[in-house]
């Protein structure tokens, strides 16, 4: 073979590998190839859907995309039957160690309920199309359990959150040494932060904290600005981070190409984000200091901060479902949703409808006087509804100002309530966005390419392009026309494996008995 023929053959092989040319007509496809045909392809990098599209997969990769006729010789074919083919979805704010509404003090069956919930959890995310989830405060044992499941979304995580030696998260340890739970904790050297007994301050600098996260396999950094305004009787004494230490963490993280997220829900927290240069706000601004729980409009200062965030490069995860999780205590319709049957085992749903209801009285006893004049369910429900409505109005105003949003569900948020089941809470969050006036194309990008880009994953996922991982969904409705299309998934394709949606439901094994 001459050198020119060798070069041409090598170039052709490379093009085939990149999916830029399909195999010649009549040639058998390599083993393991899969072709999806007769689809309307919707991918965020395209200005318009691709009609009568086909996508060729080889192993866990997309190798070619086209429209019209395609030679399927040697490949397995999935006929999308004129359905809509989209990238797998990304939920960029999850907590995999919580089981929604479950507390040992409410039941004698805690261990069995927790185990059943966690066994179903990965499948429930997939059932609702989430082929990638991002854990913002990771626990190594939980990560290992999740990834040991036969079928599970791809897991990206931030390692442990970076907490201050004397900050709010350390306070929650109730006197236990912070290093036992958070060995990569941070000492705020700019503000005289606590140096725990026997600690070496050089091991708890911003650079050391970022290195600790990377050693855990983390691909992002999470900081906290939690004022605990909700604390009954007033928040106890703890340290908030200084702008200077946050800037140092951002500098160290960016040097390692890691994005920085900030947990913050107040005007002061969002102002802190603007001053410190963080990349992603892990929540929107739903707590308005100096105002009542149900004031319908933000103060001039709060509105100005929201507008400045909207016009800045910062991206925001609204996590509206976090509020709905608490409101679920006073909304009996939540547990009547048929989606629960696919999301959690039957025994778990029985627990939520029974023993878990004790949470309501405890919540009212602790927070009732802070929220509503009357403490019955109707009073509390009306107050929670007003609280949610004002927050959604704020988000709509931020959308009008050009805010950049990322999709995250905060599944499964801790605290009181039970409206945070895996996958299903994400679907509810989609509806929350629509109710807040966020357009469907913005929602679509936020769950795909924008989430991927924000976390440095856009070379792998977020769009349907040759070379990317074959995480795809076939829908029976148009997601750019109606949010309910996201609950009309026919097939989930996970790293090239086609899975019928029904095989992922919690009903599996129940209906057969």
pLDDT at 248: 98
Per DSSP, 164 falls in state B
| Residue 496 CA, distance from chain mean position | 22
Nearest Cα to Cα of residue 122 among 487, 462, 499, 458: 499
- pLDDT at 510 exceeding the cut of 70: no
Q: For residue range 37-73, list pLDDT tens digits in order.
A: 999 999 999 999 999 999 999 999 999 999 999 998 8
> What's the start-to-end Cα distance of the chain, in Å?
64
Strands 260-263, 280-281: pairing kind: parallel
Among 193, 240, 186, 247, which residue's Cα sits nearest to residue 211?
A: 186
User: Each residue of 395-422: pLDDT tens digit?
Assistant: 999 999 999 999 999 999 988 999 999 9
> Is the four-CA dihedral 59, 60, 65, 67 of positive or negative sign?
positive
Of the pLDDT bands very low, low, confident and very high (cuts 50, 70, 90), residue 232 is: confident
pLDDT tens digits, 141-156: 999 999 999 999 999 9
Under the banding of pLDDT at 50, 70 and 90, the label for residue 29 is: very low
> 3-state secondary structure string, 97-110?
CCCCCCCHHHCCCH
Highest mean pLDDT among 19-23, 340-344, 365-369: 340-344
Q: Which pair of tokens denotes residue 51?
A: 């009609």
Torsion angle defined by CA atoms of residues 486, 356, 286 and 398, in that order, rounded to the nearest 10 degrees: 10
> Quick check: helix, strand or coil at residue 285?
coil
Burial of 382 (0-12, 13-18, 19+ CB in 10 A): middle
Q: What is the mean pLDDT of residues 324-335?
A: 95
pLDDT for 1: 33
In three-state form (DSSP H/G/I as H, E/B as E, the rest C), the secondary structure along 240-268 is: CCCHHHHHHHHHHHHHCCCCEEEECCCHH
Q: How long, in residues, is the chain? A: 513
d(CA 370, CA 375): 10
Burial 393-408 (b: 16+ CB within 10 A, else e): ebbebbbeeebbbbbb
pLDDT at 31: 53
Residue 494 has pLDDT above 50, yes or no: yes
> How does 352-375 read in b/e, with b if 16+ C-beta sit within 10 Å?
beebbbebbeebbeebbeebbeee
Check residue 21 and give its pLDDT: 37
* Cα–Cα–Cα angle for 47, 398, 100, rounded to 5 degrees: 90
Q: What tokens were used for 110?
A: 């805690």
pLDDT at 84 over 60: yes
Give the pLDDT confidence score for residue 24 in this predicted structure.
33
Q: Name the band, by pLDDT with cuts 50, 70 and 90, for residue 369.
A: confident
**Residue 434 in this model has a pLDDT that exceeds 60:** yes
Q: Tell me the C-alpha to C-alpha distance, in Å, between residue 240 and each of 163, 171, 269, 381, 455.
A: 10, 12, 10, 32, 26
pLDDT of residue 146: 98
Residues 6 or more apart in contact with residue 507 via CB below 8 angstroms: 341, 342
Measure the CA–CA gap between 92 and 440, rounded to whole angstroms.
18
Task: Give yes or no for a contact between 109 and 351, defined as CB atoms under 8 angstroms apart.
Answer: yes
Q: Which tokens in the block code for residue 505? A: 């439901």
- Quick one: pLDDT band at residue 375, thresholds 50, 70, 90? low
Given a cut of 70, is residue 451 above it in pLDDT? yes
Cα distance between residue 182 and residue 202, in whole Å: 16
Could you give the angle at the alpha carbon of 268 between the alpha carbons of 303 and 314, nearest 5°? 70
């Amino acid at each position: 073979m001459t050198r020119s023929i060798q070069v041409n053959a090598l170039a052709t092989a490379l093009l085939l590998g990149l999916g830029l040319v399909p195999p010649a007509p009549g040639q058998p496809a390599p083993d393991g190839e899969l072709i999806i045909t007769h689809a309307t392809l919707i991918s965020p990098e395209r200005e318009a859907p691709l009609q009568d599209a086909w996508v060729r997969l080889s192993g866990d990769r997309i190798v070619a995309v086209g429209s019209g006729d395609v030679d399927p010789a040697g490949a397995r074919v999935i006929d999308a039957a004129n359905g809509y083919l989209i990238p797998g979805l990304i939920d960029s704010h999850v907590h995999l160690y919580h089981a929604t509404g479950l507390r040992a003090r409410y039941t004698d069956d805690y261990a069995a309920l927790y185990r059943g919930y966690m066994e179903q959890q990965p499948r429930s995310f997939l059932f609702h199309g989430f082929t990638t989830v991002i854990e913002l405060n990771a626990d190594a044992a939980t990560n290992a359990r999740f990834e040991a499941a036969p079928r599970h979304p791809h897991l990206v995580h931030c390692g442990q959150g970076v907490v201050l030696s004397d900050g709010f998260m350390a306070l929650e340890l109730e006197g236990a040494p912070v290093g036992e739970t958070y060995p990569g904790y941070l000492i705020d050297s700019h503000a005289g932060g606590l140096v725990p007994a026997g600690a070496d301050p050089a091991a708890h600098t911003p650079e050391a904290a970022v290195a600790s996260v990377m050693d855990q396999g983390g691909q992002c950094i999470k900081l906290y600005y939690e004022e605990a305004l909700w604390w009954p009787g007033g928040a106890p004494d703890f340290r908030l981070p200084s702008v200077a230490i946050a800037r140092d963490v951002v500098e160290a993280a960016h040097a390692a190409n890691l994005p920085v997220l900030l947990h913050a829900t107040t005007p002061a927290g969002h102002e802190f984000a603007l001053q410190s240069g963080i990349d992603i706000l892990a929540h929107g601004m739903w707590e308005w200091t100096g105002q009542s729980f149900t004031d319908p409009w933000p103060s001039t200062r709060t509105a100005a901060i929201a507008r400045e965030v909207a016009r800045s490069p910062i991206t925001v995860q609204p996590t509206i479902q976090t509020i709905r999780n608490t409101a679920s205590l006073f909304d009996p319709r939540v547990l009547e949703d048929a989606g629960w049957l696919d999301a959690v085992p039957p025994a778990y749903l029985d627990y939520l409808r029974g023993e878990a209801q004790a949470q309501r009285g405890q919540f009212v006893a602790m927070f009732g006087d802070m929220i509503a004049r009357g403490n019955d369910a109707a009073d509390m429900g009306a107050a929670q509804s007003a609280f949610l409505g004002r927050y959604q109005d704020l988000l709509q105003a931020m959308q009008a100002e050009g805010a950049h949003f990322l999709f995250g569900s905060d599944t499964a948020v801790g605290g009181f309530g039970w409206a945070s089941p895996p996958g299903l809470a994400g679907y509810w969050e989609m509806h929350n966005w629509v109710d807040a006036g966020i357009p469907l194309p913005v929602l679509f990008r936020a769950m795909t390419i924008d989430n991927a880009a924000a976390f440095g994953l856009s070379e792998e996922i977020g769009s349907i392009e040759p070379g990317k991982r074959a995480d795809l969904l076939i829908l029976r409705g148009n997601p750019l026309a109606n949010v309910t299309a996201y609950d009309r998934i026919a097939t989930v394709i996970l790293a090239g494996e086609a899975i019928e949606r029904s095989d992922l439901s919690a009903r599996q094994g129940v209906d057969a008995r």
